[in-house]
Structure 1
Amino acid sequence: MTPFWKNAITSLILIPIFLGIASIFSGKEVSTEQYNVLNHKEYPILIAGYDRNAGNVLVIQPEWKLEDFSSEERYLKSIEAPLKQAEQKGLLKKNTLVVFPPHMGSFLYFMNARQEVFKQKTLEEAWSFLKLENSFKDTIGWIIGKKSDPYQKVSSSYQRIFSNLSRTYGVFILPGSVFLPDGIFENGNFIPNQNGDWKEFAFLFQPDGKISKETLSRKPSEIWKKNLSQLNPGGNVSGNVAETSLITIQFPFARFGIFYLEDFKDPAFQEKVKKTFVSRIIAIGEESSEAQLKDWAVKSNFESTIRVIPSGVLLDRNYGGGSYVKTRYGAPTPGVNSREPLILNLFL
């Protein structure tokens, strides 16, 4: 083949690559003006029980918008707003546990994405667009000899934010969950392994900012397997991973059993929860349709039952809310299924 045709073929290969690179770097992120016009509702605070100085659990049900995950600054602002409200009401103390719903970190993969990603009609299309953007970034990384690891930025931001919040307010924080490759704990931090199996982790941040080693973890669902495969085609998302679907934690003020709500549908898992020798349980979940927990917990003599579900709309995906706190003999608070942002405080 003559040098002319070699150069011509090379040009045909490089042209779409450079066009893609130009498109990525010429694209703009969601601007401050665009973000500020979004409607952010105030959090009503509902209180159950009486303050006996024996500790309290603060449940945060945020109203999600995908744009809240568009930058670390906006993400921090959206999750700190209810904490500031609770602090002003005197609800954050040294014996307080703050609980957020699942996937508070999973959508941070949209951090610093282009405006076009947030304009897609469906969440699936947004993930696909994000995949295209990441593919060009991977190509650039391959050319310059630096592989792109999409989870590194998410892991760093997620841990830094909640570590700082737990230290700042001096409370325990269970910040929902985040998808990361499996890894190791070192000095109170979690270090993902690039070649590790993807898991949904629910970490507990202590008042000193360090992560407790008692960590919920489970394999990705089929939908999340697809999303994660788009983010990192080289990662292992087979789902054949070890799970820790139930943990028990002895806080200075109470002992809790914590688990994923979706696992509760299994009768065998219900028996497992019943035999954990805890007086209080926390279930974090995505779907508000699960209705077994309330009645089951009453019959099982648990002192407190807490269910945490997100609300809001991420493009075409609706999260119905339905968080509640419940004492052994009291009615659930709130009394109806609410889609609104909520702060629920349960005095122990």
Structure 2
Amino acid sequence: MRKLLGLFIALALVALLVGYAIWIGDRPVGHYLSDLRIHLVVNEGQPGERGNLLGIQPELFPADYQSTERLHRKLSAYLQQARDQGLINSKTIVVLPEHIGTWLLASGERNQLYQAQTIQEAMTWLALSHPWRFINAVFKAKGGNRLDDAHMRMKAEAMARDYQSLFGGLAREFGVTLVAGSIVLPEPSVENGQLQIGNGPLFNSSVTFGSDGLPIGQPQRQLSPANHQRGYIRPADGAPLHVIDTPAGRLGVLIGSDSWYPRNYKVLNQQGVELIAIPALVIGNDRWNKPWGGSHHPMTVSSIGLNPLQVSEGQAWQRLTLSGREYQSNARASISVFMRGQLWDQGSSGYSFASHAGQNVSEPLPDSQAAHGARLINIWL
């Protein structure tokens, strides 16, 4: 009887292991109808020979990341609509929001991940789908939050490859310079025209692609990520701020709250910056209109002269970012571009804005017709 029971248990375990192996190897792609609406909400200046800064504020959901083909279809539809409106030429600089590349870690996964109710649940499905890869990533994790570090690290090689293929491909397809938001990768670098990863800590980084589809210079690392990200994203203290040559002028990239620091504008000035792209993200539905959470950022309230109790998140972003002008920024134009949509239980808010020729231009609050869908903000130089 014992032998029979042992045999039964052994067979059951084998069946479970075989079933689990089949499950983690199966990657069905479900049908998904993308919302390709996009509204031109700012079109400042007159078309000319100097080009333009074109911010695309996409509206994205988990299913958009089910495959790079699906995400390409959505982003290329946005760009095509911009082209149809005469907003794309050989001197156009397209700017996408912060972390648009980070969620490539969800590409090619099982349907349960996209149907999850929370990011935590989605990451649990990710780990279950790649158990050995996840365990290996946990041992290699560098951050204080080893689980979040491992989730990012376990698919970093594929993420880097997909990031360059997708965003470099879009830049080449539409003949533009494209600031590809940002992506979290371990020690990213460009070698022989290819985005590579290392074995060290994770950095939130942005790559700018030329119209030939290749990276221009090295990835720009975020110098000062917010406190809640520092458990797995390493601050790039001492990393250089790059200024690159584009057909529209010398371009610098400040990721998110790096745009708040006057010293960063001074460094860009020393390199002859003319244009500044700011990929940004504000997490939380309607947080834009709620009291600013400045006390949660490494920059102290006293050092910036803003009281979180007296300003909203949106007011703080505009006053801090545009304060670069007060410190004699040489850039003739800058643009801050935010994400829209809902990634699991993590909503996003934020309204793009720009500075051009000494004038501040803000994206208007959406009316009932433009409440959904992506948004375009265009500044002619």
1:291 to 298, 312, 318: 318
Query: Is the 2:252–2:268 Cα contact (8 Å) retained in structure 1?
Result: yes
After superposition, the Cα gap between the structure-2 partners of 1:171 and 1:317, relative to the gap in structure 1 and judged at 3 Å, is same
Q: 1:347 maps to which residue?
A: 380
Runs of 4+ in 1 over 6 A off after TM superposition: 3-13, 219-222
State the TM-score, normalizing by the size of structure 2: 0.73
1:324 and 2:353 are equivalent in the alignment: yes
After superposition, the Cα gap between the structure-2 partners of 1:40 and 1:167, relative to the gap in structure 1 and judged at 3 Å, is closer
Q: 2:203 maps to which residue?
A: 199
Q: 1:163 maps to which residue?
A: 168
Query: Is the 1:179–1:199 Cα contact (8 Å) retained in structure 2?
Result: yes
1:211 and 2:215 are equivalent in the alignment: yes
Partner Cα separation in structure 2 for residue 223 and residue 13 of structure 1: 41
Q: Tell which deviates more after alignment, 203-212 or 3-12.
A: 3-12
Query: Is the 1:69–1:107 Cα contact (8 Å) retained in structure 2?
Result: yes
Q: Tell which deviates more after alignment, 243-252 or 88-97.
A: 243-252
Q: 1:133 maps to which residue?
A: 129
The Cα shift of 1:159 comes to: 0.9
Partner Cα separation in structure 2 for residue 246 and residue 107 of structure 1: 24
Query: Is the 2:207–2:220 Cα contact (8 Å) retained in structure 1?
Result: yes
1:23 and 2:23 are equivalent in the alignment: yes
Q: 1:262 maps to which residue?
A: 257
After superposition, the Cα gap between the structure-2 partners of 1:119 and 1:98, relative to the gap in structure 1 and judged at 3 Å, is same
Query: Is the 1:298–1:328 Cα contact (8 Å) retained in structure 2?
Result: no
1:130 alignment partner, SS class: helix
* Matching of residues 1-348 of structure 1 within 5 Å: 16-25=16-25, 29-32=28-31, 35-36=32-33, 39-44=35-40, 46-135=42-131, 150-193=155-198, 195-218=199-222, 239=234, 244=239, 246-266=241-261, 268-269=263-264, 272=267, 277-287=272-282, 289=313, 290-293=317-320, 295-299=322-326, 300=328, 302-336=331-365, 340=372, 341-348=374-381
The Cα shift of 1:272 comes to: 4.3
Unaligned runs of 5+ in 2: 136-152, 283-287, 289-312
Q: Tell which deviates more after alignment, 306-315 or 258-267.
A: 258-267
Instruction: Report the residue type matching 1:106 in the other structure.
Output: T
The Cα shift of 1:94 comes to: 1.2
Query: Is the 2:187–2:202 Cα contact (8 Å) retained in structure 1?
Result: yes
Q: May I ask how many residue pairs the two structures share in their alignment?
A: 323
Partner Cα separation in structure 2 for residue 335 and residue 216 of structure 1: 30
Instruction: Report the residue type matching 1:308 in the other structure.
Output: V
Instruction: Report the residue type matching 2:258 in the other structure.
Output: D
State the TM-score, normalizing by the size of structure 1: 0.79
Q: 1:143 maps to which residue?
A: none
Deviations 1:46-82 (A, max 9, x none): 3111112111111100011111001111110111111
After superposition, the Cα gap between the structure-2 partners of 1:183 and 1:59, relative to the gap in structure 1 and judged at 3 Å, is closer
Query: Is the 1:245–1:263 Cα contact (8 Å) retained in structure 2?
Result: no
1:291 alignment partner, SS class: helix
Unaligned runs of 5+ in 1: 140-147, 227-236
2:53 alignment partner, SS class: strand
The Cα shift of 1:203 comes to: 0.4
Identity of aligned residues (%): 23
Instruction: Report the residue type matching 2:375 in the other structure.
Output: L
Instruction: Report the residue type matching 1:80 in the other structure.
Output: S
Partner Cα separation in structure 2 for residue 243 and residue 133 of structure 1: 37
Partner Cα separation in structure 1 for residue 324 and residue 134 of structure 2: 49
After superposition, the Cα gap between the structure-2 partners of 1:284 and 1:329, relative to the gap in structure 1 and judged at 3 Å, is same
The Cα shift of 1:248 comes to: 1.8
